[in-house]
Amino acid sequence: MFAMLSVAMPFFVGLASGIGALVAVLFFGPRPRTQPPITNAEFLSEPRIFQFRNGYLTEHSDNVSFLISSPIDNLTAWNDLRDSLGDIHEGAPAALRALEETGQPFRLTGTFGTDQVVILGRRDGLDLRITVSAAGEQQAAVRIDLSSLQAMEDEIAMLSRANETSPALSWAVDAESRIVWCNAAYLAVVERFVSTDAARGWPLHPLFAEDEGVGPVRTRRKVRDGGGQEHWFEVTSSPASDNKLRLMHALSLDAVIKAEESLRGFNQTLTTSFAFLTTGIAIFDKNGQLALFNPTLLDMTGLDGAWLSGRPRLKEFLDTLRDARKMPEPRDYKAWRDAIATLGKNGKSEPYVETWTMPGNATYRLTGRSQGDGAITLMLEDITDELTNARSDRDCQNVLLGMFEDMSSGMAIFDTDGSLLLANAALKSLWLDDKTEDLPDTLERCIRLWSAKTAPNSAWADLQREARTRSVRAEWSAVLELPNGRNLEMVVKPVPKRRVSVTFSFPDDNGVVALGPAQIRQALQA
């Protein structure tokens, strides 16, 4: 028995030692590492900040290995962070891409394990700044870095100041159309139009009746102030947001309405004034539409006034004139119409003028003029009487010129500057030896010619002085002596428009003036 124990004892001692060693290894040896629960206190007690420039990680907080792999590779950190944040919020990769490309800031709320996390991204000069912080429901505030907080506070302050200093009226209404917020401009109008008390209590007095609808609406609204005076506004309504609030904005239109009324009054004055003109007028605005016409245009063209009141375009107006045969047919109508429609658009401001010969011996003058801003004015004048009078005047002038040429006395008429205007055949026969020559073109040069062919006489000095001083105010005459001893009478006379006539004639023995060129030639040869 003892022998059996002595043999078994080493076996049991070895077995006990092996079991003890195994227990020691299991107890004291390294155990499998389990991921500890992510808690705000452990991992996000402070915000984690990442700052990138051109995709390179320039700065970062401590203990960020749960977001980017360790050791940190500054070149690939942007991609690592994007992938990690994508697990927290599925929109993070797109938000990071927008921040990188356009600088658009973002704020995302996601989950990391059982914890709620806020991700902020913004551009800071040349850098992109990403902040990851805890936002558990049990926390009283979101932990973010001071720089991001300051930037957001500055932006909110700027937006608030912009609202308060804006001249436009802005306010927000809830689902029951009650005003829940407004800016200083809205309060000022309520106080001015309604009363001071109405601008103090809430909900505020509504200036404008609310319109139903979910889409953006822009309308003109009229409001009366305490004195009964009307004021106009352009009111814009935005769709309701998730919290059932609608933003409203209003711009004062008083100056616009006043300008429109002034323009209407001006147009009425023009229309009244144009109504008494004998010239047909059609004014087309910069868009080519008829803006104004007068009754004379209807009488001259026979167009329908109701059709003209529909504001046809310029080309339609010309086409209708052509179809109604109220204008002569141009050789190339399309080119002619385009020339009228493009007045002033080629850099030239000269008016377009042409004469229309109408049936019944009527004659119209069409004048097209560009107004500089793209508007075009067409004027149609009946010049039938004008042309008739011009023809009559021309006929009278021809008769008078014929009589002037047939005068037996030589006559020359000089303008105010001494230039020769007219000289008849008798004068040329008297003073020119060569009939192919012309008389001198000024009075002074004629005096030199005449004085050279007569005996010395003080009359030439008097006429020279008057020619230089242009001071012929009364008729006077002088008797000149030709080389053959024959007397020649000169008469100097002022004529209308400060012109001067000089007449030469030969009196006979009885004091009667000899008539005809033949007598002049006979007197010169005696």
- Above pLDDT 90, what percent of the chain? 18
Instruction: Give the residue, 90 or 169, on which the prediction is more confident.
Output: 90
Q: Average pLDDT of 333-357?
A: 84
Q: Average pLDDT of 146-172?
A: 65
Q: Dihedral sign, CA of 345, 347, 351, 353? A: negative
Contact 409, 503 (CB under 8 A): yes
Whether pLDDT at 43 is above 60: no
Q: Average pLDDT of 376-381?
A: 91
pLDDT of residue 317: 93
Average pLDDT of the chain to the nearest whole number = 77
Please tell me the number of Cα atoms within 13 Å of 462 on its side-chain side.
Answer: 14
| 383 band by pLDDT with thresholds 50, 70 and 90 | confident
How confident is the model over 214-244, as pLDDT tens digits?
A: 446 677 777 777 666 777 887 877 777 666 6
Burial annotation 465-481 (CB, 10 A radius, 16+ → b, else e):
ebbeeeebeeeeeeebe
d(CA 450, CA 347): 55
For residues 466, 468, 473 and 479, what is the CA-based torsion angle, rounded to 10 degrees?
A: 20
Contact 257, 232 (CB under 8 A): yes
Instruction: Give the residue, 204 or 138, on which the prediction is more confident.
Output: 204
How confident is the model over 255-294, as pLDDT tens digits?
A: 777 777 777 777 777 777 777 788 899 999 888 899 888 8
Q: Which residue has the tokens 């097209």?
A: 368
Whether pLDDT at 39 is above 50: no
- Out of 72-81, 113-122, 208-217, pick the least confident: 208-217
Instruction: Give the residue, 485 or 44, on which the prediction is more confident.
Output: 485
For residue 8, the surrounding DSSP H or E stretch is: helix 2-28
d(CA 499, CA 501): 7
All structural domains of the chain, each given as residue ranges with its CATH number in brackets, are: 48-157 (3.30.450), 166-252 (3.30.450.20), 277-386 (3.30.450.20), 406-525 (3.30.450.20)
Amino acid at residue number 203: P
Q: Could you tell me the two tokens for 467?
A: 């020619």
Considering 8-22, 441-455, 511-525, the range whose residues carry the highest mean pLDDT is 441-455
DSSP tag of 362: -
